[in-house]
Amino acid sequence: MSSPSNLPGKLCALTPSRIGIATKDGTTPTESVLDFQRSYALARDTIHIPLDAAAIARSVAPLPSVLVRSQAPERGIYLRRPDLGRRLHSDCLTDLFKARCDVVFVIADGLSSRAAERHASAVLKATIEILPHWSIGPVVIASQARVAIGDEIGVNLDAEFSVVLIGERPGLSVSDSLGVYITRKPALGRMDSERNCISNIHANGGLSYAAAAAKIAWLLEQARKIGQTGIGLKDEMVESALTLGSVPQIKS
């Protein structure tokens, strides 16, 4: 068993959490205080950075893309009125034509546009590469958006599945973590229990792009087999496959 003096160092090697930083007299070193303040400021600032939708459209090319926005007119209202972020602005409805596709991918800012801009395109392309027999709708890039905006987008594109790649709430360790939400038969009023979530996708010790893509593809394949997403679809993917980018079969 580790001695008490070695325990903080061993724990620090396992987590980015701020532990074991107090000095013997119980005070916190100035360097640690400044690091905390910097991380806190970065997390707060990240929430307000606008999404560069045009840059994302360029990064997903040559895949076709459509730019849309929610009913939240500006960031302050978006933060205070989550319901408006879940619905498409009426001006955008005419831009979404029935694609009758297997899956539509939505890239949304959520609470971290940095996450969407840095990671979503790479995850999207890696996923499509291992779904060669699936028909893919146009990539929809949504500003001031919440997860549920993918339901209305899926309905308008007549997609069997919607996959929303969205910036997660920034924290004191990571401000650009990406989350993915998968919904079968997207429709207005879908509950969170009807979705499957993959989180913590980022370059600073998070889930890799290849691993995230493998898990998305696996969940889509299994959801199609059992006819549902959400609590009825258990994530029983063989963990070793995450490093291979393959889509293994569900365990019997």
Which residues 6+ apart lie within 8 Å of 99 measured at CB?
Answer: 137, 138, 157, 158, 159
Q: At what angle do helices 53-60 and 121-129 cross, to 10 degrees?
A: 30
Cis peptide before 248 (omega within 30 of 0): no
Measured distance CA(112)–CA(120) in Å, rounded:
12
Question: What CATH number belongs to 50-206?
Answer: 3.40.50.11240
- pLDDT, one tens digit per residue, over 172-194 is 889 999 999 999 999 999 999 99
Q: How confident is the model at residue 88 (pLDDT cuts 50, 70, 90)?
A: very high
Measured distance CA(127)–CA(125) in Å, rounded:
5
Predicted model pTM: 0.86
- pLDDT given at position 9: 64
Average pLDDT, the chain: 88
- pLDDT, one tens digit per residue, over 113-132 is 999 999 999 999 999 999 99
Report the chain's C-alpha Rg in angstroms. 20
Per-residue pLDDT averaged across 9-36, rounded? Answer: 75
* Residue 88, H or E segment: none
Q: Are 185 and 160 a contacting pair, CB within 8 Å? A: yes
In the structure encoding, which two tokens stand for residue 162, read together? 């919607």
pLDDT-wise least confident of 36-50, 72-86, 135-149? 36-50
Q: How confident is the model at residue 50 (pLDDT cuts 50, 70, 90)?
A: very high
Buried b (16+ CB within 10 A) or exposed e, 33-61: eeeeeebeebbeebbebebbbeebbebbe
Going by the DSSP 8-state scheme, the letter that residue 251 receives in this structure is P
Domain edges within the chain: 50-206
Q: Report the amino acid identity of residue 250.
A: I
